[in-house]
A and B are shown apart, each in its own frame.
Chain A
Amino acid sequence: MNVWIETLMNGLMLGGLYALFGLGLSLIFGVMRIANIAHGELVIGGAFMAFSIAGAVPLPPIMLVALVTALMFALGWAVQSALVNRVLGSDPLRPLLLTFGLSVLTQNLLVELFGADSRSLDIGSFKTAALTLGTLSVGLLPLVTFGLTLLLFALLHWGLHHSAVGRVVRATADDPEIVALMGVNRKQVFAGVMALSAALAALAGMLLAMRSTVTPFSGAERLLIAFEVVVIGGLGSIWASLAGGLALGLVHAVSFRADPASGLLYGHILLLAILLIRPEGLAGKRRTR
């Protein structure tokens, strides 16, 4: 019995990390209506940036995480301003191809700089520390990851719905042409959203590298998970990404326990089932426009 409770809890906490993978992708899609194929590389790029900084300067993990998150925020802003903003328009293929190109480029750049070995972020004994509740044992790192995810979702929700900047972001998502009449430069909004997406992705990437290992090629799998989170959860609110992430995490954890050889198979089956039964996603809204 305890095994299954632990499995469910592990699934939820894994799902929190998945939700964080999906959140940035969903933000980009919701505001700019583009699929960022390089999202997985933002996740993995964050982890590798942390490896190289940790190798050069020994920083406490929290400082390292904060620094990399800030740097990736700036990088996201720069990439959007210098590249992606130029190809936005009526043709959705152009940003798709551009981000695909960036994804391939980043992968090869990471291999060139770091080699193809798998690495992980060293956080000492914190990695294996566990909290014991009666007969249950829960990893401290997954627990902190989960709490941080919930906090970020809540902060983002508050920012989008109760701040002037959030209002501008939502209005831009509704009608990117008309916001110009309110004095809004939509390209700056897009740059800010990409920056936020990159920062969230990098944070998720570092949390991933703390609990397991990554290689320069790990991005594709994170992108796949991020896509599945967005499709399973649905579009229209950030909570949909959380719902999608938790659902996918639970399915992965349970299927791994019941059928260890199945890999990600049951997650993909969940995706197909959602597409067939509820194409707007678990918590998504049907678009009314």
Chain B
Amino acid sequence: MLDIEGMNAFHGDFQALFGIDLHLEPGETLALIGANGAGKTSFLRALCGLTRAQAGRFALNGQAMLPLEAPARARAGIALCPEGRRMFSSLSVAENLMLGGRIGRQGPWNMDSVCSLFPILREFAQRPAALLSGGQQQMVAIGRALMANPALLLLDEVSLGLAPVVVDELHDALVRIRGEGMAIIFVEQDIARALRQADRFLCLLEGRAQLAGPARGADLAAIGRAYFGETA
């Protein structure tokens, strides 16, 4: 469903990614791991069109993504829940969610199902998003991405800066989201948790794919070496 061969990405003159290959099937979940600056966020931004990229091949359901700008990629089915949540802070919770749904793709996610996933959003629907707690804002950000009914959902560090009990709640929600059959790529600092949640993992180091494989039975020692760039 998602086919990427040899993707490079750039911030101005600085090259952030070098020759990344990735293939994902519908319903598959990939954990993207790596140290700070390894290129995880750059990869997600390159996928949804916020960061400039080149690739030998980059297609979603057979449709070439590279010629498309970010709005067209959103309509094609790529949604990002960005690092730092990036709420529309002057809009209410409900308005944030409605914006997520404005591209009008069909699927299981709508205002009702998102509010069933995160009941607090129904209660706070009319509140300005800026007044919510960090965890609640993260729920709005995930909900906003879900509202697009994407084929490929990108989640960047949804646990960052949140209390452990909130992180547990969010990851429980992820399990339910996975059941809906979209492909998911998520960035997570807690490697043990990432491997529990994912089907496969991809470990980046300085913009290059260092190690990849199935999450179940992954060799933590090998991941540790790939993470820190030690030669085996």
A-side interface residues toward B, CB under 8 Å? 164, 167-168, 170-171, 173-175, 177-185, 288-289
Given A164-B102, A171-B99, A175-B86, answer yes or no on A182-B91 (Cβ-Cβ < 8 Å): no
Distance in angstroms between the alpha carbons of A36 and B132 in the assembled complex: 34
Number of A-B contacts (CB under 8 A): 69
- B50 interfacial by beta-carbon distance below 8 Å: yes
Task: Point out residues on B near A: beta carbons under 8 Å.
Answer: 48-50, 69-72, 74-75, 79-80, 82, 86-91, 95-96, 98-100, 102-103, 130, 144-145, 148
Q: Which of A171, A181, A183 contacts B91 (CB 8 A)?
A: A171
Q: Cβ of B89: which chain A residues have Cβ within 8 Å of it?
A: 174, 288-289
In angstroms, how far is the closest chain B Cβ from the Cβ of A289?
Answer: 7
A97 to chain B, nearest CB (A): 22
Main secondary structure of the interface of A (DSSP, over half): helix
Smallest CB-CB separation from A178: which chain B residue?
B86
Q: Are A174 and B70 in contact (CB under 8 A)?
A: no
User: Complex formed: what's the CA distance from A174 to B130 in Å?
Assistant: 11
Chain B residues with CB under 8 A of A185: 69, 71
Report chain B residues within 8 Å CB of A171.
88, 91, 95-96, 99
A177 touches B102 (CB 8 A): no
Docked Cα-Cα span, A164 to B103, in Å, equals 12
Given A167-B95, A171-B88, A173-B90, check contact A183 B130 (CB 8 Å). Answer: no
Nearest to A171 among chain B residues (CB) is B88
Q: A181 touching B82 by the CB < 8 A rule?
A: yes
Q: What would 10 more interface pairs be, CB under 8 Å, given A175-B87, A181-B82?
A: A171-B96, A178-B86, A180-B50, A180-B71, A181-B48, A181-B80, A181-B145, A182-B74, A183-B148, A185-B69
Choose from A178, A183, A288 the contact partner of B103 (Cβ within 8 Å).
A183
12 residue pairs of the A-B complex, CB under 8 angstroms, read A164-B98, A171-B96, A173-B90, A174-B87, A174-B90, A177-B86, A179-B88, A179-B99, A180-B74, A181-B82, A185-B69, A289-B89
Name the CB-closest residue of B to A184.
Answer: B71
With the chains together, A177 CA to B86 CA distance in Å? 10
Q: How far is the CA of A58 from the CA of B87 in the complex (A)?
A: 52
B102 touching A180 by the CB < 8 A rule? no
- Residues of chain B within 8 A of A175, CB atoms compared: 86-88
B38 CB to closest chain A CB, in angstroms?
Answer: 22
Q: Is the CB–CB distance between B50 and A177 below 8 Å?
A: yes
Q: Which residues of B contact A181 (CB under 8 A)?
A: 48, 50, 70, 74, 79-80, 82, 145
Which residues of the other chain, B, contact A182 by a CB distance below 8 angstroms? 71, 74, 99-100, 102-103, 144, 148
Tell whether, in the assembled complex, residue B69 and residue A167 are in contact, meaning their CB atoms are under 8 Å apart: no
- B75 and A167 contacting across the interface, CB-CB below 8 Å: no
**Contact A180-B98, Cβ < 8 Å, known A170-B90, A185-B71:** no
* With known contacts A167-B91, A171-B91, A183–B102 Cβ distance under 8 A: yes
Residues on the A chain within 8 Å of B82, using CB: 178, 181
A179→B91 CA distance, assembly (Å)? 13
B99: contacting residue among A167, A288, A289, CB under 8 A:
A167
CB-CB < 8 A to A184: which residues of B?
71, 102
The minimal Cβ–Cβ distance linking B13 to chain A, given in whole angstroms, is 15
Chain B residues near A180: list those with CB within 8 A: 49-50, 69-71, 74
Q: Tell which of A164, A170, A183, A288 touches B88, judged by Cβ atoms closer than 8 Å.
A: A170
A168 to B145, CA, bound (A): 16
**Which partner residue on chain A sits nearest B150 by CB separation?**
A181
Asked if B130 and A288 make an inter-chain contact with CB atoms under 8 angstroms apart, the answer reads yes
A183 in contact with B75 (CB, 8 Å): yes
List A contacts of B98 (CB < 8 A).
164, 167
Chain B nearest Cβ from A223, distance in angstroms: 27
Q: Which residue of A lies closest to B96 (CB)?
A: A171
Rounded to whole angstroms, the CA-CA distance of A65 and B227 in the bound complex is: 67
Across-interface contacts of B74 in A (CB, < 8 A): 180-183
Give complex CA distance A191, B72 in Å: 19
Closest to A174 in B: B88
